[in-house]
Amino acid sequence: MNTEHRPDNTESLLQGLVAKDEIRELVVRYGLGVDGKDPAELRSIFTEDINFHAANGEFEFQGVNALVDFFLNQVAEVDRNSLHVTHGHIIDLDPNDPDSASGVLFGHAELIPRDPEEGSKLAALRYDDEYRRVDGRWRFSERCLSFFYRLDAADYLQDIISDTPVKGGETPLPADFFDLRR
């Protein structure tokens, strides 16, 4: 057994672990920014050229200004409060570029509307992300949002087994990933 210590390998491993930890914090800061409607936090977590879009084509935003405006105005106009909770997170560091990474994150969101007549929403989410380190800080450079479901909390038990569990728009949509009735 070779017990020779290789400082270059140890340093590389340590840098990778630190990068992954910083990216894990980034996704929590996303929740803080979106749920807290905090413009400074939101601006600090996205690259200037961020591409944020929904897999189902429901929306797409190019650039940090458009995206921050969306969260602070359009979303805040509809939702009084929200809570984004993250679950499993896989991060792949780019072996050819120490400032690039990609990841998949699963989570849930609770959305409380401004209008009580609208009813609260529950969503199970998947984010496919691209991350870039800018000025020594990890940021989202692309974020693709997919829904396992998004529906009215009051109708959860009924709608979770429907063919179209993505509610909230003009037309209910099927889940992006799988048939929930199996």
Say what the pLDDT of residue 3 is. 46
Specify the CATH number for the domain of residue 136: 3.10.450.50
DSSP state of 176: S
Q: Rounded mean pLDDT of 9-36?
A: 94
In-domain check, residue 3: no
pLDDT tens readout for residues 82-138: 999 999 999 999 999 999 999 999 999 999 988 888 889 999 999 999 999 999 999
pLDDT tens readout for residues 25-84: 999 999 999 999 999 999 999 999 999 999 999 999 999 999 999 999 988 887 788 999
In-domain check, residue 179: no
Q: Give the residue, 172 or 128, on which the prediction is more confident.
A: 128
Residue 23 contacts residue 132 (beta carbons within 8 Å): no
For residue 104, count other CB atoms closer than 10 A to its CB: 15
In-domain check, residue 168: no
Containing structural domain, residue 98 = 8-159
In-domain check, residue 72: yes
- In this structure, the strands spanning 137-152 and 46-54 are parallel
Whole-structure pTM value: 0.84
Counting the structural domains of the chain, the total is 1
Q: Give the residue, 81 or 20, on which the prediction is more confident.
A: 20
Which of 7-11, 110-114, 126-130, 155-159 is the least confident region?
7-11
What distance in Å separates the CA atoms of residue 84 and residue 34, rounded to the nearest whole number? 8
List, in sequence order, every residue forming a beta bridge with 83; answer none if it has no partner: 110
Strands in 44-78 per DSSP E: 46-54, 60-62
Q: Which of 87, 92, 89 is nearest to 131 (CA)?
A: 92
What distance in Å separates the CA atoms of residue 66 and residue 180, rounded to the nearest whole number? 34
